[in-house]
Structure 1
């Protein structure tokens, strides 16, 4: 998918999570949404990296876990610098969740295309694909973005 499609898929996927968090922790819901949107295109960094094939290692579950680990590690460092009263126990796991979830939304957007993604790399080179739409399909990309905006608005309005 293109950037609009990836942002749309991220919004669609995160809308239920944001909806669940809105009452108790609206700031967390917003921060998580921003984080997921910011990460939704990270796997396509492979387009700018020499010797890294597009839809290769950055389009895998291993990469999602690595990004989640990096964010959880960064949150741990941050939490250690905060006074105990501000270092909430949910900060580290939520940062890890946002990292994994953000990358998984990208993979969800690419798995619907004929090229698919090698989800289980390095254990397997098998590509997973539903083959529903081409990555460059304008209607699918902008439709995903519209659906994501609608899902997000609905989650906010219903809460």
Structure 2
């Protein structure tokens, strides 16, 4: 997938979390979360700019998703602990989920293409692909972007309407 498709996939995966965030905190915070997830949608493709790193290699694995999640979790815990220990733990877990989720959404979108992904490499080199459309397919990329945007908007607005 290309950037638009990856942003759409990240919004689709984020939508249930956006609903919960809107219901428990605020719609504004949920939309900020959606923008943050969308802005990180292309992180795994930074491998195309780093010499000696193969495209759809290590940055397209669950291990990379966990490392990114751990980095975000650590930052979240440090920021949250300024309020309280419970705040540090809670914010750390939320930040871990955010970082991991963003990378996993990228992997899911790439699994839709013929090239597929090997998400458990180097432990297991099984290739996963649904082979639905080529990464450069503009219709597929725009459709995924539109679907992700619509689903996250509905989820956040619905979450904001839940009386607590």
Tell me the TM-score normalized by structure 1.
Answer: 0.91
Q: Distance in 2 between matches of 1:21 and 1:77?
A: 21
Match of 1:67 in 2: 68
Unaligned runs of 5+ in 2: 160-164
Q: Any residues of structure 2 matched to 1:25-44 within 5 Å, and which? A: 25-26=25-26, 28-44=29-45
Match of 1:13 in 2: 13
Q: Distance in 2 between matches of 1:66 and 1:89?
A: 18
CA shift, 1:153, in A, is: 2.0
How many residues are treated as equivalent by the alignment?
Answer: 158
Match of 2:105 in 1: 105
Q: Secondary structure at the match of 2:24?
A: coil
CA shift, 1:140, in A, is: 0.1
CA shift, 1:142, in A, is: 0.5
Q: Answer yes or no: is the 8 Å Cα contact 1:72–1:92 preserved in 2.
A: yes
Q: Secondary structure at the match of 2:39?
A: helix
Q: Any residues of structure 2 matched to 1:134-145 within 5 Å, and which? A: 134-145=134-145
Alignment deviations for residues 17-55 of structure 1 (CA, whole Å, 9 cap, x no partner)? 211221211255334323322221100000100000100
Match of 1:154 in 2: 154
Tell me the TM-score normalized by structure 2.
Answer: 0.88
Q: Distance in 2 between matches of 1:85 and 1:125?
A: 40
Q: Answer yes or no: is the 8 Å Cα contact 1:11–1:152 preserved in 2.
A: yes
